[in-house]
């Protein structure tokens, strides 16, 4: 259903922001210029009656995002970790979206448990609390097991969440198509691929069996990480819409006053949360992809406890080495090497000037060294980095979207704990250790040994593979029939006409 009817959804988005009073707050937070403000208000104000009213007891931005649906709530969760982008006041307001949304009823929760687990509710639990946390896709209850009395956390998907999310994502697809049609230069950012990636990530959150599996794998990878805990999954009490884990007792990592009262060292916590993320991404190639304050607690002994494993990221070994070399180059201020790595990995077209790209990267990296975070405008830095990537024709790397987004979120969490933290100083020992282990003579020998093992497994098949390759080379496939090509072009032309009509409709509105 990715058709022009989604124009109504996009108009309603702007109308909801206007009706709830969130439009002015968001424009103020992003320091929008007068022309942009006038344009938005002129286009949206006549249609504010189409906007959702939302919960009037909530702050305007939270009210608007909650009323619009789960995909918008996810976006608000990300912004809640970036006070340097949206301001301290708005960031605090948006944290409500992490785990304090209105819950669904206990009756629906118990019905979901009995339907999913196939046993009587009273046989499974001796106690079952009201929701202790409610987020965009699910809510969590504290319960005690009937047979052992152990305290557990029971996560249950919201009723009808799949359909609600599909409504949002359809509108996003339509917006991506419109952007590609209106601005050909934006195609290098591959907006359609970005939305497809986002859809795949969140659809994975809608099957709690996958989250249970992710939690188990993450726990195995991080078992020896000092100062870090992952709760254990109770597999016999988990299914597609219900997940049960051991209860994690601790202080929310976003509550600075509570952390101080409990005697925790926030500077040490900030360092640890960033270094843990880098270790998981570089060492394991498997990392928590949603590490905002709502998914992290601090135990009484100072350990960081992670939960909510619906979004996990995985990157292959080659990409990890590229990522580490880029970070290491920035840390050493070796911008020439950073530029070369981008070219070697194919991130920048080969016909661009590597020296010029290195100079542009220096302009991005230099302002952050020797400065504390409170003096850095991350919004301005990201804006300039975007200009650099546009000028050099870099395409969006969909395999790095989650890694980059999570890095931004984790940095936001760390800086909320220690506003003066310098991410480069904190990252340096982790990246250096990875470089020593993964790039050098020892790594080369390991790679050669791994290659030899793979070739030995495929040895008996090599003659057949070579023969098949020669046959394909000598017998290329026939070219496509003209009528099929004409048909494809006709469908493309029809799509362009429909898209242009949709854009024309927006301009009239």
Residue 391 CB neighbour total at 10 angstroms: 12
Q: Are 310 and 290 in contact (CB under 8 A)?
A: yes
Output phi, psi for 159, to 5 deg: -60, 135
The residue with tokens 């906007």 is 51
Q: Which of 322, 342, 339 is nearest to 435 (CA)?
A: 322
Catalytic residue among 290, 303, 308, 316: 290
Q: Are 164 and 370 in contact (CB under 8 A)?
A: no
| Distance of alpha carbon 382 from alpha carbon 399, whole angstroms | 19
Q: Is 290 a known active-site residue?
A: yes
| Distance of alpha carbon 18 from alpha carbon 52, whole angstroms | 10
Q: Are 273 and 296 in contact (CB under 8 A)?
A: yes
Name the token pair of 264. Answer: 């925790």
Output phi, psi for 290, to 5 deg: -145, 55
The residue with tokens 């870090």 is 228
Output phi, psi for 12, to 5 deg: -65, -30
| Distance of alpha carbon 421 from alpha carbon 319, whole angstroms | 27
- Distance between terminal CA atoms of the chain? 22
| Distance of alpha carbon 407 from alpha carbon 466, whole angstroms | 43
| Distance of alpha carbon 223 from alpha carbon 231, whole angstroms | 11
Please identify every residue annotated as catalytic: 290
């Amino acid at each position: 259903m990715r058709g022009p009817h989604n124009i109504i959804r996009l108009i309603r988005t702007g109308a909801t922001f206007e009706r709830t009073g969130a439009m002015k707050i968001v424009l103020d937070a992003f320091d929008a210029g007068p022309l942009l403000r006038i344009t938005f208000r002129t286009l949206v104000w006549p249609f504010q009656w189409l906007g959702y009213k939302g919960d009037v007891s909530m702050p305007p931005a939270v009210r608007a995002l909650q009323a619009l649906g789960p995909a918008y709530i996810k976006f608000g969760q990300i912004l809640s970790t970036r006070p340097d982008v949206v301001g301290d006041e708005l960031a605090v307001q948006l944290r409500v979206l992490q785990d304090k949304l209105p819950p669904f009823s206990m009756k629906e929760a118990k019905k979901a448990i009995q339907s999913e687990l196939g046993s009587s509710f009273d046989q499974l639990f001796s106690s079952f609390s009201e929701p202790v946390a409610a987020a965009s896709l699910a809510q969590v209850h504290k319960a005690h097991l009937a047979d052992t009395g152990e305290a557990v956390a029971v996560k249950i998907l919201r009723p009808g969440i799949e359909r609600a999310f599909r409504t949002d994502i359809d509108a996003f697809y339509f917006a991506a198509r419109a952007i590609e049609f209106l601005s050909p230069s934006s195609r290098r950012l591959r907006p359609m691929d970005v939305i497809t990636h986002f859809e795949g990530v969140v659809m994975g959150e809608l099957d709690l069996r996958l989250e249970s599996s992710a939690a188990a794998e993450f726990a195995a990878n991080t078992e020896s990480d000092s100062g870090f805990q992952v709760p254990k999954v109770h597999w016999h009490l988990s299914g597609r819409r219900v997940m049960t884990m051991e209860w994690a007792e601790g202080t929310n990592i976003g509550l600075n006053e509570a952390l101080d009262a409990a005697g925790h060292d926030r500077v040490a916590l900030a360092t640890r949360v960033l270094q843990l993320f880098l270790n998981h991404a570089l060492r394991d190639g498997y990392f928590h992809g949603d590490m905002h304050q709502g998914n992290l607690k601090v135990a009484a002994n100072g350990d960081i406890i992670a939960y909510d494993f619906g979004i996990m990221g995985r990157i292959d070994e080659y990409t990890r080495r590229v990522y580490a070399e880029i970070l290491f180059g920035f840390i050493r201020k070796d911008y020439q090497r950073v530029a070369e790595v981008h070219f070697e990995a194919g991130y920048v077209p080969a016909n661009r000037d590597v020296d010029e790209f290195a100079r542009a990267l220096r302009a991005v990296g230099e302002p952050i060294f020797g400065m504390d975070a409170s003096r850095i405008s991350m919004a301005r830095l990201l804006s300039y980095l975007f200009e650099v990537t546009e000028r050099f024709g870099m395409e969006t790397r969909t395999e790095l979207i989650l890694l980059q987004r999570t890095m931004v979120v984790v940095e936001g969490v760390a800086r909320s704990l220690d506003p003066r933290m310098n991410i480069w100083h904190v990252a340096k020992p982790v990246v250096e250790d990875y470089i020593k282990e993964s790039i050098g003579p020892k790594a080369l020998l390991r790679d050669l040994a791994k290659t030899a093992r793979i070739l030995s497994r495929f040895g008996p098949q090599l003659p057949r593979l070579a023969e098949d390759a020669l046959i394909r080379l000598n017998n290329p496939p026939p070219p496509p029939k003209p009528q099929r090509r004409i048909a494809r072009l006709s469908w493309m032309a029809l799509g362009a006409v429909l898209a242009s009509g949709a854009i024309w409709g927006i301009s009239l509105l």
